């Protein structure tokens, strides 16, 4: 009876569940059927289905979208989800077929990928790229077998790529790039045989590329760039991908892959190939034999592979007649530029000849005419100067090419972009360059090119030209450049010899957006009335720094387009004019500007960098400075500003560098610096009249790496909380967020160029002298509290700052002993404790300061023996004087017990404390070696300069050799005796 009852209830539950499933199925089917009936009746609809609409709302609920890019996704029933942003429905059935969250850096979409995606049963296109999703890929995505397109690129996914991606058999496109995936690449991806595009780039994957990728015979695009630790043992699998047209493997080592050139050439449809940073120079046999086919490659990137001129033997098979873009930048190609250009032309010539021979061989038995053989011979003799008439872009920057930019450049008649920057070119520029009909972008910067810039530059069609950092002269200032003025938008002629006159032709360039004539020895006084004509109306970037231009700054600098202005290191005088509201970089330092800061500065709400240092400005710092909500650097160094540190500066919460040194500011250092300016990494208030104690809130600046409060009237003790300056605790360079650069994108003829400019500059006391640090400022971690009235001991916590490079506490009233653990500050290069009241001995741990190259402990009350070590005995005596009871080398004062050692000829170790005092031996070695070197050069210098002595030397060289051998033997014998003693 009990069994029958159980069976009855079980049967009832099964029927009940089955009924629910059937009901759900019927509901969905009925809904779909309803849409189909409407369509059949002639009323096509794209109104979304209710359960899919609810699924979309649940997906939105699990997302973070602070900028509300999904504002069209509303719950009102009358809203049609097929019209929502990023949602696409089937016009016939109304089912959601495509979902693109359309994320970007600005939308900030993130959160959690919702399980409700499974309710979109007809979804075949899913794009979640450029969002901020974290964690692992949700396992349920492997169940969405109807997907044909899956893009999860540019997120923060971690963990391994799940094997269940192999179950998505209908996928034609999968993009998992720009994430943090680890582990190996699943072999199951090789089963997705419908794939036409696969991207796994920029992840932390390791292991080898699976050979199963050879099964993906429909692939058109394969992106395996920067897979961290992935390697390729062989490329046999690649030979199967006959349809492949684009292959990216930047940063993936091919060092173990022989004959890779043969495999690549075998891919007859391959057009795009990037193999940058692939260790190509380490491949033993990249190319085994001649292949009876020509390269189809149009875009070829082989940058940063340490390739040299011996690479032409395998490079030529890749350089075919279809080549349009060729990049071998960052390699080691050397020799004359003409040879390099001729070799490229020869590569194309050889391929064309091989193709002709193959065609004729198929047609008539492989024989070539006498005329063709003669033509081939002439081609070989003259260097094979067959024009690369399809080459659009050539980038050979960052190599070791020498010579002139010669007439061979005419063979590259289709060039649009030519980049030969950062080579060793040391000749002139051929006029043929300016005659290239389609050349629009030219970069020859950072070479040693010389001569006069030809007037024929005015006949070119350049949009962008960079000739900076050469030795070019400027005779073209009065030339007719009317044709050039119609096209050019970007000019960088910085660091040349174009002075002393102004280039008057600039005023004709109505479309000019970027102009850099810095460091050109321009010394003309420019009248104010000429500025209006001289400044192009479209100009956004202006750099005339490091010249000697004089005159007043005109009101025309209020040009509404200007975003970057650098007029530093000139001789401008007078007041500061009005600048446009959208300007973001303004540097007027190192001039002779006078007056007060104008009220118009309050309108510069986009300003990131303001540098007015080294002028003759005066008065109070006006409240308008605090209005700069975007301000990252403020430098008013070396002026005559007075008053207390203004309170409104606390509003500049993005400040990373604040330099108000060498002014007449006074009062206490405010506590809000530590509380509100949390991004500060450099703070300089030196050479003012600040008084009071150093506020402990300074210790809250965790990013602070440069602190300079020297030459003030500060009192009290050094805060013991200094160990909270965590950036000084860490060893090494500045972290990336402390590398401050101005970056601006410039659109020139539908191409974007980034203007990258380092704006960190600071004067720092370094090894007893004041030095200006610019780009190398990132190397510095320094505390300078010198020349104040500080009292008390050095807090022992300061020894935790193990990344500190400079510590200067000189010229104070500090007392007590030097911390015993100071030796653990092993990055110290400068240590100045002079002119204080320190007592006790120098800690023995100081001998561990192996990088120390400047030490000064003079004028204290120190006593005892100077510790022996590799550094301390090498400093001058003056660095230790003024300590009456200090003794031992390098001082001439003996320590107690050393008198007996003075009489004894053998200098060994001190028996009292076990420290080595072998200075005599060391100086004997140095003196002996120096004497031997001096004698050597006296003898051989005489032989080099005196012909008669040289003849005498060769006549008696055997006797001289014997004499030298004897002298060397005697010297070495004496050295060994002293060393053994």
SS in 3 state form for 946-981? CHHHHHHHHHCHHHHHHHHHHHHHHHHHHHHHHHHC
Yes or no: say if 943 and 949 are a contact pair by the CB < 8 Å rule.
Answer: yes
pLDDT digits (tens, 9 = 90+) for 450-474: 998 887 887 788 999 999 999 998 7
pLDDT digits (tens, 9 = 90+) for 10-47: 444 433 343 333 333 333 443 444 344 333 333 445 57
Yes or no: say if 252 and 278 are a contact pair by the CB < 8 Å rule.
Answer: yes
Can you give the pLDDT at residue 36? 40
As a whole number, mean pLDDT of residues 106-128 equals 86
Least Cα distance to 784 among 709, 687, 724, 693 occurs for 709
Yes or no: say if 627 and 649 are a contact pair by the CB < 8 Å rule.
Answer: no
What spatial distance separates the first Cα and last Cα of the chain, rounded to whole Å? 111
pLDDT digits (tens, 9 = 90+) for 180-208: 999 999 999 999 999 999 999 999 998 88
Give the range among 103-117, 405-419, 840-854 with minimum mean pLDDT.
103-117
Assign 637 to helix, strand or coil: coil
Say how far residue 169 (Cα) sits from the centre of its chain.
41
Task: Name the CATH superfamily, with its identifier, for domain 50-285+293-323.
Answer: Ribonuclease Inhibitor (3.80.10.10)
- Residue 68 in tokens: 């509300």
Least Cα distance to 141 among 122, 156, 162, 159 occurs for 162
Give the range among 92-101, 301-310, 348-357, 432-441 with minimum mean pLDDT.
348-357
Q: How far apart are CA 162 and CA 156, in angstroms?
A: 15
- CA distances to 38, 115, 140, 597 from 120, in Å: 21, 10, 13, 63
589 DSSP assignment? -
Q: What value does the mean pLDDT of the chain take?
A: 80
- Residue 195 in tokens: 């794939």
Q: How far apart are CA 544 and CA 541, in angstroms?
A: 10
SS in 3 state form for 420-462? CCCCEEEEEECHHHHHCCCCCEEECCCCCCEEECCHHHHHCCC
The structure tokens 């159980």 sit at 6
Can you give the pLDDT at residue 812? 97
Query: Cβ neighbours of residue 663 under 8 Å, at least 6 residues apart?
Result: 636, 637, 638, 639, 640, 641, 642, 687, 688
Q: pTM (2 decimals)?
A: 0.78
Say how far residue 596 (Cα) sits from the centre of its chain.
38
Query: Cβ neighbours of residue 224 under 8 Å, at least 6 residues apart?
Result: 200, 201, 209, 230, 248, 249, 252
As a whole number, mean pLDDT of residues 911-931 equals 39
Q: How far apart are CA 884 and CA 865, in angstroms?
A: 12
Residue 760, pLDDT above cutoff 80:
no
As a whole number, mean pLDDT of residues 860-882 equals 89
Task: Name the CATH superfamily, with its identifier, for domain 664-734+760-854.
Answer: Ribonuclease Inhibitor (3.80.10.10)
553 DSSP assignment? P
Residue 219, pLDDT above cutoff 90:
yes
Residue 366, pLDDT above cutoff 60:
no
As a whole number, mean pLDDT of residues 656-666 equals 95
Q: How far apart are CA 469 and CA 448, in angstroms?
A: 8
Q: Under the phi-then-psi rule, with left for phi > 0, alpha for psi from -120 to 50, and beta for the rest, what region is 505?
A: alpha
Strands 541-543 and 514-516: parallel
Can you give the pLDDT at residue 269? 94
Residue 917, pLDDT above cutoff 80:
no
């Amino acid at each position: 009876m009990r069994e029958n009852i159980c069976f009855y209830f079980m049967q009832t539950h099964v029927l009940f569940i089955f009924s629910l499933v059937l009901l759900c199925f019927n509901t969905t089917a009925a809904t779909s059927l309803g849409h189909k009936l409407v369509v059949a009746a002639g009323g096509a609809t794209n109104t979304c289905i209710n359960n899919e609409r609810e699924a979309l709302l649940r997906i939105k609920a699990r997302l973070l979208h602070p900028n509300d890019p999904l504002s069209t996704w509303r719950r009102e029933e009358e809203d049609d989800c097929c019209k929502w942003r990023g949602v696409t429905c089937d016009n016939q059935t109304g089912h959601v077929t495509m979902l693109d969250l359309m994320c970007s850096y600005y939308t900030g979409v993130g959160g959690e990928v919702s399980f409700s995606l499974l309710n979109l049963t007809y979804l075949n296109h899913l794009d979640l790229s450029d969002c901020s999703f974290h964690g692992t890929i949700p396992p349920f995505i492997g169940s969405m077998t109807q997907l044909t397109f899956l893009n999860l690129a540019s997120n923060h996914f971690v963990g391994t790529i799940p094997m269940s991606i192999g179950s998505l058999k209908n996928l034609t496109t999968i993009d998992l790039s720009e994430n943090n995936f680890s582990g190996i690449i699943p072999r199951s991806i090789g089963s997705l045989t419908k794939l036409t595009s696969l991207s796994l780039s920029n992840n932390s994957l390791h292991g080898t590329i699976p050979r199963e990728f050879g099964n993906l015979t429909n692939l058109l695009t394969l992106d395996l760039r920067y897979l961290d630790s992935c390697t390729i043992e062989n490329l046999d699998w690649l030979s199967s991908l006959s349809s492949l047209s684009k292959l990216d493997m930047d940063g993936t080592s091919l060092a173990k892959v022989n004959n890779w050139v043969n495999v690549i050439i075998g891919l007859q449809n391959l057009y795009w190939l990037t193999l940058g940073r692939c260790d190509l120079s380490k491949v033993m046999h990249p190319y085994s034999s001649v292949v009876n086919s020509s390269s189809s490659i149009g875009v070829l990137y082989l940058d940063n592979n340490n390739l040299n001129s011996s690479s032409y033997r395998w490079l030529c098979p890749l350089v075919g007649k279809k080549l349009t873009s060729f990049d071998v930048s960052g390699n080691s190609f050397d020799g004359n530029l003409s040879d390099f250009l001729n070799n490229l032309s020869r590569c194309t010539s050889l391929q064309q000849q091989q193709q002709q021979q193959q065609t004729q061989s198929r047609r008539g038995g492989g024989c070539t005419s006498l005329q063709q053989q003669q033509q081939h011979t002439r081609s070989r003799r003259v260097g094979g100067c067959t024009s690369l008439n399809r080459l659009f872009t050539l980038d050979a920057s960052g190599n070791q090419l020498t010579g002139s930019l010669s007439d061979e450049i005419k063979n590259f008649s289709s060039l649009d972009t030519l980049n030969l920057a950062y080579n060793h070119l040391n000749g002139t520029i051929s006029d043929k360059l300016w005659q290239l009909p389609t050349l629009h972008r030219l970069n020859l910067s950072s070479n040693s090119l010389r001569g006069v810039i030809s007037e024929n530059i005015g006949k070119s069609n350049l949009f962008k030209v960079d000739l900076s950092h050469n030795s070019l002269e400027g005779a073209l200032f009065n030339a007719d450049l009317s044709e050039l003025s119609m096209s050019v938008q970007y000019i960088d002629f910085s660091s040349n010899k174009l002075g002393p006159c102004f280039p008057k032709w600039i005023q004709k360039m109505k479309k000019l957006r970027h102009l850099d004539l810095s460091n050109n020895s321009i010394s003309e006084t420019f009248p104010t009335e000429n500025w209006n004509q001289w400044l192009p109306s479209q100009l956004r970037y202006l750099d005339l720094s490091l010249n000697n231009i004089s005159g007043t700054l005109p009101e025309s600098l209020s040009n509404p387009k200007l975003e970057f202005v650098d007029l530093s290191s000139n001789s401008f005088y007078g007041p500061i004019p009005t600048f446009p509201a959208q300007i973001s970089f303004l540097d007027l330092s190192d001039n002779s500007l006078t007056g007060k800061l104008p009220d118009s500065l309050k309108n510069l709400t986009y300003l990131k960098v303001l540098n007015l240092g080294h002028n003759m400005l005066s008065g109070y710092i006006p409240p308008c400075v605090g209005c700069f909500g975007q301000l990252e650097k403020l430098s008013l160094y070396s002026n005559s500003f007075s008053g207390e540190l203004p309170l409104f500066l606390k509003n500049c919460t993005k400040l990373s560098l604040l330099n108000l040194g060498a002014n007449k500011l006074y009062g206490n250092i405010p506590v809000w610096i530590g509380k509100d300016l949390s991004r500060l990494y450099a703070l300089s208030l030196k050479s003012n009249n600040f008084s009071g104690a150093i506020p402990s809130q300074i210790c809250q600046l965790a990013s602070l790496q440069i602190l300079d409060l020297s030459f003030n009237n500060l009192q009290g003790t050094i805060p013991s909380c200094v160990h909270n300056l965590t950036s000084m605790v860490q060893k090494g360079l500045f972290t990336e967020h402390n590398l401050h650069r101005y970056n601006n994108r410039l659109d020139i003829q539908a191409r974007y160029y980034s203007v990258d400019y380092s704006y960190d500059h600071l004067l720092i006391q370094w090894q007893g002298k004041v030095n200006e640090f610019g780009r190398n400022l990132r190397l510095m971690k320094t505390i300078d509290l010198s020349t104040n009235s500080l009292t008390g001991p050095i807090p022992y916590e300061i020894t935790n700052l193990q990344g500190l490079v400079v510590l200067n506490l000189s010229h104070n009233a500090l007392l007590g002993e030097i911390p015993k653990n100071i030796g653990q500050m092993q990055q110290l290069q400068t240590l100045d404790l002079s002119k204080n009241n320190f007592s006790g001995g120098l800690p023995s741990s100081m001998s561990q300061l192996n990088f120390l190259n400047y030490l000064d402990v003079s004028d204290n009350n120190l006593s005892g023996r100077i510790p022996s070590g590799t550094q301390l005995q090498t400093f001058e005596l003056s660095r230790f004087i003024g300590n009456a009871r200090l003794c031992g080398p390098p001082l001439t004062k003996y320590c107690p017990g050393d008198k007996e050692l003075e009489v004894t000829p053998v200098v060994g170790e001190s028996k009292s404390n076990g420290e080595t005092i072998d200075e005599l031996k060391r100086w004997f070695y140095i003196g002996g070696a120096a004497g031997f070197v001096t004698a050597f050069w006296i003898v051989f210098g005489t032989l080099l300069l005196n012909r008669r002595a040289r003849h005498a030397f060769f006549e008696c060289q055997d006797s001289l050799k014997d004499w030298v051998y004897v002298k060397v033997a005697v010297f070495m014998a004496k050295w060994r005796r002293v060393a053994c003693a």
